[in-house]
Amino acid sequence: MDDLDRLAAILADPDVTRYLPGGNPRTREQTEKTLRFIIGHWEQHGFGWWAVTDKASQKLIGWCGLKFIDTTNEVEVLYLFARPHWGQGYATEAATASLRYGFEELELERIMALAVPENTASRCVMEKLGMRYVKTAVYYNLDLAVYALARQAFQPGEATFILTKDEGPNPPSSFVTCPCAFTGVRHLSS
């Protein structure tokens, strides 16, 4: 099963999409559009989302990474996991590796995160990352809780990643592997 099929199954779950813009499960066509956006983001910015896979099965279980927000020139840390993988520390570990990549490889000064105020699980992840609540503001046409972390305040702990080159035609040039206990991380593909 390629990433589109597995991602479509993840995004068809109403519990997974409840706090995403629109709040509704995604169709396969909507998921394909999202995947094309993710690949285009990599091509435009040189960074983006990675597929998070189970090391044993290599099955896609979610995503993590960084997104440039064009309207505000900010970079957001992202994470999303299939429901069976909630509450196991995956989001915290993958997001910490994403932050480390953003601060150490991209040399970003600040990374932010957004959550629907009622999404307490995501807000707890942000706080575990060392991020601090800044304000509530409108992003993606939603009132969202805004958290942020400055590079000098970042404490990476045990989160590591290995940066290697992906010589294939798609997606672009970098490939990150997170030697986590539970997952691997690679580019999403269509």
pTM for the full predicted model: 0.85
Q: Has residue 49 got a pLDDT over 60?
A: yes
| 134-185 confidence digits (pLDDT tens) | 999 999 999 999 999 999 999 877 656 655 545 444 443 333 444 444 455 5
Segment 42-68 shows an average pLDDT of 89
Q: If pLDDT is split at 50, 70 and 90, which confidence band does 59 have?
A: confident
What is the average pLDDT value for the chain, to the nearest integer? Answer: 85
Q: Has residue 53 got a pLDDT over 50?
A: yes
Residue 135: per-residue pLDDT? 97
CA atoms in the 13 A half-sphere facing the CB of 74:
16
Segment 46-65 shows an average pLDDT of 87
Task: Answer with the residue of higher pLDDT: 187 or 110.
Answer: 110
Ordered domains of the chain (ranges, CATH): 3-111+152-187 (3.40.630.30)
Task: Answer with the residue of higher pLDDT: 102 or 158.
Answer: 102
